[in-house]
Amino acid sequence: MSPAPVSPASLSPAPAPPSMSLPNVSMEIPAHVPPGLVRDFPLAARQTIYENPHEALMPAIHAGPPALMATNGYLGFYPCWVFRRSEDIKTLFQDTQNFVKKGNTGFAAMIGEDWDVIPTELDPPRHTAIRRLLNPLFTPASVAVMEHKVRERARSTVAAFRERGHCEFIREFAAPYPVSIFLDLLGLPVDRIWEFLEWEFALLHSSRIEERAAGVRAVKAYLLEVIEERRKRPGDDLISNALRLEVDGQKLTPIEVFGHCFNLYLGGLDTVSAAIGMQFAYLARNGEQQARLRADPSLLPKAMMELLRAYATTSHYRVCSQDVEVCGVLVKAGDKVMVSPALAGRDPEAYDNPGEIRFDRNAPLLTFGYGIHRCLGVYLAQREMLFALEEVLAALPPFRLRDGFAIPYRTGGVMQAAALEIEW
Tell me what pLDDT residue 208 has: 82
pLDDT of residue 17: 53
- 116: helix, strand or coil: coil
Strands 336-339, 78-83: pairing kind: parallel
Q: Average pLDDT of 188-214?
A: 87
The answer to whether the CB of 333 falls within 8 A of the CB of 323 is yes
pLDDT of residue 5 exceeding 60, the answer is no
The upper half-sphere exposure of residue 4, i.e. CA atoms within 13 Å in the direction of its Cβ, equals 3
User: Nearest-CA neighbor of 45 among 74, 19, 80?
Assistant: 74
Average the pLDDT over 389-397 and give the result: 98
- Per-residue model confidence as pLDDT tens digits over 108-165: 988 889 999 999 899 999 999 999 999 998 899 999 999 999 999 999 999 999 999 9
Structural domains in the chain? Answer: 8-423 (1.10.630.10)
The confidence band for 297, taking pLDDT boundaries of 50, 70 and 90, is very high
Amino acid occupying residue 354: P
User: Which residues, 6+ apart, have CB-to-CB distance to 289 below 8 Å?
Assistant: 282, 283, 357, 359
* Whether pLDDT at 4 is above 90: no
Inter-residue contact 75 to 287 (CB < 8 Å): no
| Interval 269-275 mean pLDDT | 91
Degrees (nearest 5) of the Cα angle 115, 119, 120? 80
Closest CA to 280 of 157, 163, 145: 157
Three-state SS for 49? strand
pLDDT band at 265 (very low <50, low <70, confident <90, very high): confident
pLDDT digits (tens, 9 = 90+) for 279-296: 999 999 999 999 999 999
Per-residue confidence (pLDDT) for residue 1, from 0 to 100: 31
Residue 12: per-residue pLDDT = 44
In the three-class reduction of DSSP (H, G, I as helix; E, B as strand; rest coil), residue 219 is classed as helix
Residue 26, pLDDT score: 81
Query: Which residues, at least 6 apart from 229, have a Cβ–Cβ distance to it below 8 Å?
Result: none
| % of the chain beyond a pLDDT of 70 | 95
pLDDT exceeds cutoff 70 at 3: no
As a whole number of Å, the end-to-end CA separation of the chain is 19
Taking a C-beta distance cutoff of 8 angstroms, is the pair 180, 153 a contact? yes
Report the chain's mean pLDDT, rounded to a whole number: 91
Q: Are 351 and 309 in contact (CB under 8 A)?
A: yes
pLDDT for 289 equals 98
The three-point CA angle 214-220-225 to 5° equals 135
